[in-house]
Structure 1
Amino acid sequence: MARFIRIRPPKVESTRTALAWGYGRALDWTMRHRVLTTLSILAIIVLATVPFQMLPDNTPEAKEMRDLRIQYEFTENYHYAVIEQTYVNPVEAYLFHNKARWKIKDVYSFYNNGSASTQVYFDQARLVAGEASKIRDQIGEKLPVIPGARISLGRMRGVDTANWVGVNLYGDDTQTLNELVLEAKRRFRANPTVKEVHTAQERGLEEVQIRLDRERAGKYGISAQAVGQVLGIVLRGREIRGFHSSDGEVEIWVKLQEEDRENIEDLKSVIVGGGADGGDILLSHVADFEIVKTAQSIEREDRRTRAYIGVVCGLENRDESRRLVTDIMNSMPLPMGYTWSFDRWVAEQDEGNQEFIFNMLLALFMVYFVMASLFESLAHPFAIMFSLPFAFVGVAVFLWITHTPFNFMAQIGLLILIGVVVNNGIVLIDHVNNYRRAGLPRAQAIREGCLERLRPILMTAGTTVVGLLPLAFGTTSIFNDRYFPMARTVMGGLIASTILTLLVLPTVYSLIDDFALSARRMWIRTRPTAAAPAVPPAAPASERAV
């Protein structure tokens, strides 16, 4: 019975399909024109740097819009009730009127004497990618314009992070720093590529500065100490000796009534002394008055007073924004002892880029070390490492076509690619080496090994790319960063590296193998040969006889 059962040989992967036939012809051509193939792929890698340099650092689609702050810059120190009725209520009415259109979830306002801010929170579930910056621009177009205040958009978390450049001004005198901030603010707003400028002065309060004219005060015999004591009683009051009653001691304070110190005219009419003719000497006779806006606090860094300026540029590339800010700040004449620098966030970004480069180099070394130990060769792993430049071509082109930023998530994807794209090369080169160990010539081993590993490599890369599609075109995020730049980086790098690995890696493998063989032959030729052992001279006949 068994002799009638035909035992079929194990099915070997067919190389007669149209895909395998076309791949075989392309492979034969690249192996016949190895120099031209190598030069062509090097030119492609160099040209890929052009779209890579055009990639934005971030886009609104890659960030989640968390909230938006609307800030108020008042010309006077208004009472909080006036701020609520005149400024905050119209702004909130404007926002609630467009609540559905702008997908607003909540609006929170805070106001106090001389200051106010409104925070707008959005419905994250209803927002789509790329909608954040459009909503921000629409809100800013028709913000209420009310005399007595400048109402503007503040910083939006998740949208303008990439375009925001912070600058610190350092010096000793706070007033000089404020003047420099105003000048820098004017220069930034004069540039059409600068969208917004924010300073700490916008959150400051107005105050009346009284400067005593010592020459006039000396004529009237008024000292600065006397003026200070009078103002202390007028503004803060002074406690005097209490009154003892049967119920206990009663506190007594001396100060002006509220209605007598409501404005600057009441302050000017304060009596600070008496003249020789018995007339009253008013504060306006011996002092000058000026209403200025000062910061709510004085910040110091490294024992230096600091003033902050935040600039939102309309450029997509962070380096271009930094160059623009650098040019404007360097054009300002700073007094002796005053300097400027980028804020700590810019410094942290530079440190992060340096750490990324170090991690890339470390990953490359570790991958090469593992492959060299497994292949027991230094040349073959070096050929497989050429898959990484192939991946760079795909990353640059794919991100450029999809207008995807090369941000922090994309950098993570690039690190992932280092361990992923070499897998195809490992599978390919290992199979070729197995054929060579079996006795096949190198050219035949390369052709047979590549044809047999064509389908597994395409299936592995294809399933990985398909599995990344939901993440590449979704809105999943962590904190403010969406995942799709990372997924698209892996997809683009894997697609390009798979195609170029199948077509170009055999050529690179053969060239490096030829170089390794030539280096081995040269080393053998130049290696000094061991000297032959000296033959002892024959003994004389007389000695042999003995």
Structure 2
Amino acid sequence: MTVNIDSKGKNVVRAATAFAGFYVNEDYEQVYGSNYGTVNVELPEVNTRIFADYPKNDPIAHLDTMRKELTEYAHKNWGKQWVVRVRAESDGPPTGKDLTIRVMGVDTGKVDMLTRDIMNYMKTNEEYSEYLVDLRPDTGYPNRIVRFVPDEMRVSQYELTPRLVARMAGSILDGSLVGEFRADDEDIDLRMRVDQRFLRAPEDALSIPVIEEDMGSIRLGDLVKIETYTEPGQFNRFQGERAITLSANLKPGSPYSPPYIVNNVVEYYSTIRTKYTGATLNFAGEYESTQKSYSSLMFAFLIALLVIYMILATQFNSYVQPLIILSAVVFAFIGVVYGVFFTRTLFTINSFIATIGVTGVVVNDSLVLIAFLNNLSRDGMHRDEAVYEGVRMRLRPILLTTLTTTLGLLPMAIGIPYYSLNWGPMASTFVTGLCTATLLTLFIVPVLWHLFMGLQERLSKP
């Protein structure tokens, strides 16, 4: 069914398509149920959109407004048990949630209580609660369970059995099989059921007569007691333990990253963990993939440094000079830490990649400088003069390399024409790391080479 939206105006909503009986989750899976529904809303063309509350026609801000208004409308008209989720359609393959926190343990009660505690803390956190979208557990919607328990005293009084009474209750609620017929090579069951006008809720079954006696009708409520309770709609396990997964997305442009929020939750959990001895936290989602990426990059980086050291040791016939060359890696990390601290940017995976790139550039500068100093020393020049002449001769190419790279990345680092949350930290990391490492390389690497050559001369004397 396609419905044109006129109440908001064609400059706000172009059209909508409504479906009943299912919804499509974030993984593009259709979830069916009589209590589900989906409305696909199509926005107007970009140049014709007019969102009165947002002059910049920001669709993300418009989605936030729609989410709030629809939630208030549903709660006002149908009750707070109804849940409205508003999300933008995304292209490409399904992606995981930005934030995933798994609460698990052997004590089901403690797992449930810890989940509620963590969820309430995140919802009320003054820092980042407004940037969380669709924060919810994976327990599904709670199911209301209605149990009819035979009253043994009343059942025996009427000379019945609990099994027979349970069968009576089942017949009232689900109907009784009275036969079957065959149509088009298919057997179809025939059931006799109570008119649904008299059975709008399970509790209505208590007033339905089940036995006729001279003294009057015996109703189902005379034979059974009713018990009602709720239970999770979904019961998950992870590694053999009860597990509840809290997941959420972050609004685009959020100043907080998933690792920051996870670390904040970990700090809070450390203050309450003694209350929930049968439960613990386990993290997944983007945080887990980020940690794996960091570990993978660090392992690859260390292997690369080892291979570089072995190659340099072979070329220079020395075990110490390669260490002097690789000292530029330490200088690069000093610059990266300095840059992250003073620019107040996040250290992301892209920043780590930039750090590796910086080390490659400064190691190359250090390598060229040490090789030039060795050539001057072999030509008979004293090490003092070699340091002075080598730095003077290699200063211009090293500074030009740094200057061209810095000027190329500077607009991205400072946000010209606009700042990118993905590439801005990478550029600022590269610029600050390269500039700092270059200066330290020009001053410290020649000094280290001078000290090493002096020590080598003293040891070579008889």
TM-score normalised to the size of structure 1? 0.61
CA distance in 1 between counterparts of 2:396 and 2:374 reads 18
Match of 1:282 among 213, 216, 220: 220
Q: CA deviation at 1:448?
A: 0.7
1:489 aligns with 2:429: yes
- Describe the shift of the 1:391–1:187 C-alpha distance in structure 2 as closer, same or farther (beyond 3 A): closer
Q: Which amino acid in structure 2 is aligned with residue 237 of structure 1?
A: G
Q: Which residue identity lines up with residue 279 of structure 2 in the other structure?
A: T
Q: In structure 2, what residue type is equivalent to 1:232?
A: G
For residue 204 of structure 1, report the CA deviation from its aligned partner.
Answer: 1.1
Alignment match, 1:170: 105
| 1:257-288 deviation line (CA, Å, top 9, x unaligned) | 33232224423324455679553132475222
The match for 2:451 is 511
Aligned residue number for residue 36 of structure 1: none
Match of 2:324 in 1: 383
Residue equivalent to 1:442: 383
Q: Percent identity?
A: 21
C-alpha displacement at 1:383, in angstroms?
A: 1.4
Shift of 1:351: 4.2
Aligned pairs (5 A) from 1:121-520: 144-146=71-73, 147=76, 148-149=79-80, 164-171=99-106, 178=112, 181-182=115-116, 184-186=118-120, 189=123, 192-193=126-127, 195=129, 197-201=135-139, 203-212=140-149, 214-215=151-152, 218=155, 220=157, 223-242=161-180, 252-271=190-209, 277-283=215-221, 286-290=224-228, 292=230, 294-295=232-233, 297-310=234-247, 317-318=260-261, 320-327=263-270, 330-333=273-276, 338-345=278-285, 348-469=289-410, 472=413, 473=415, 482-518=422-458, 520=459
| Structure with larger RCO (C-alpha < 8 A, sep 6+) | 1
Deviation at 1:441, TM superposition (A): 0.6
Contact persistence 1:475–1:484 (CA under 8 A): no
Determine if contact 2:102/2:283 at 8 Å carries over to the other structure: yes
- Residues 472-492 of structure 1, C-alpha deviation per residue, up to 9 Å, x if partnerless? 55899xxx9934433332232
**In structure 1, C-alpha distance between the alignment counterparts of 2:15 and 2:427, rounded to whole Å:** 30
Q: 1:503 to 1:184 in 2, by over 3 A?
A: closer
CA distance in 1 between partners of 2:447 and 2:15 (Å): 59
Deviations 1:264-314 (A, max 9, x none): 44233244556795531324752224253631x322223333222337899
Q: Please tell me whether the aligned partners of residues 171 and 304 of structure 1 are also in contact (alpha carbons under 8 angstroms).
A: yes
| Cα drift, residue 452 of structure 1 | 1.0
Indicate the structure (1 or 2) with the bigger Cα radius of gyration: 1
**CA 308–250 in structure 1, closer or farther in 2 if over 3 Å, else same:** closer
User: How far did residue 385 of structure 1 move?
Assistant: 1.5
Per the alignment, do residues 121 and 491 of structure 1 end up closer, same or farther by CA in structure 2, a change over 3 Å counting? farther
Q: Distance in 2 between matches of 1:108 and 1:487?
A: 45
- Amino acid of the structure 1 residue aligned with 2:238: E
Contact 1:274 1:280 in 2 (8 A): yes
Contact residue 405 and residue 485 of structure 1 kept, 8 A: yes
Kindly report the root-mean-square deviation, in angstroms, between the aligned alpha carbons of the 2 structures.
Answer: 4.7
Moved more, 142-151 or 434-443: 142-151
What displacement does 1:401 show?
3.8
Deviations 1:502-523 (A, max 9, x none): 12222222233334445x35xx
Please give the secondary structure, in 1, of the residue aligned with 2:438.
helix
- Return the alpha-carbon distance in structure 1 between the equivalents of residues 266 and 66 of structure 2: 29
Aligned equivalents of 2:110 and 2:380: distance in 1? 83
- Aligned equivalents of 1:468 and 1:145: distance in 2? 47
SS at match of 2:101: strand
Q: Distance in 2 between matches of 1:284 and 1:136?
A: 53
Contact 1:363 1:418 in 2 (8 A): no
Cα distance change of structure 1 residues 279 and 117 upon mapping to structure 2, 3 Å threshold: same
CA offsets per residue over residues 30-89 of structure 1, 9 Å max, x none? xxxxxxxxxxxxxxxxxxxxxxxxxxxxxxxxxxxxxxxxxxxxxxxxxxx9xx99xxx9
In structure 1, how many angstroms separate the alpha carbons of the residues matched to 2:9 and 2:450? 68
Q: What residue identity is the alignment partner of 2:220?
A: L
Partner of 1:24: none
Contact 1:367/1:419 (CA < 8 Å) preserved in 2? no
Q: Secondary structure at the match of 1:145?
A: helix
Secondary structure of residue in 1 paired with 2:72: coil
Residue deviations 1:186-222, cap 9 Å, x none? 4554554562542124x41543321516555555555
Compute the displacement of 1:355 (Å).
Answer: 3.2
The 8 Å contact of residues 475 and 483 in structure 1, kept in 2 or not, is answered as: no
Give me the whole-angstrom Cα distance separating, in 2, the residues matched to 1:192 and 1:486: 29
1:172 and 1:115, CA in 2 relative to 1: closer, same or farther beyond 3 A? farther
CA contact (8 A) 1:272 1:283 kept: no
Other-structure match for 2:52: none
8 Å contact kept, 2:205–2:220 = no
* Mapped contact 2:18–2:37 kept (Cα < 8 A): no
C-alpha contact 1:154 1:198 (8 A) present in aligned 2: no
> Within 2, Cα distance between the matches of 1:179 and 1:272?
42
The AA in structure 2 aligned to 1:166 is: I
> Partners of 1:278 and 1:496 in 2: how far apart?
97
Q: Which amino acid aligns with 1:280?
A: I
On the 8 A contact 2:169/2:220 being kept in 1, the answer is: no
Q: Alignment partner for residue 114 of structure 1, among 35, 38, 56?
A: 35
Higher mean Cα deviation, 281-290 or 269-278?
A: 269-278
Displacement of 1:372 in angstroms is: 1.7
Q: Secondary structure in 2 aligned to 1:198?
A: strand
3-state DSSP class of the match of 1:279?
strand
CA distance in structure 1 between the partners assigned to 2:192 and 2:177 by the alignment: 6
Q: Can you give the 5+ residue segments of structure 2 that lack an aligned partner in the other structure? A: 24-32, 48-57
Q: Hey, what does 1:67 align to over in structure 2?
A: none
Task: Go from structure 1 to structure 2 and tell me whether the alpha carbon gap of 1:140 and 1:424 turns closer, same or farther (over 3 Å shift).
Answer: farther
Moved more, 439-448 or 189-198: 189-198
Contact 1:198–1:310 (8 Å) recurs in 2: yes
Q: Distance in 2 between matches of 1:93 and 1:399?
A: 49
When residues 115 and 371 of structure 1 are mapped into structure 2, their CA distance, relative to the original with a 3 A threshold, is: same
Q: Which amino acid aligns with 1:432?
A: L
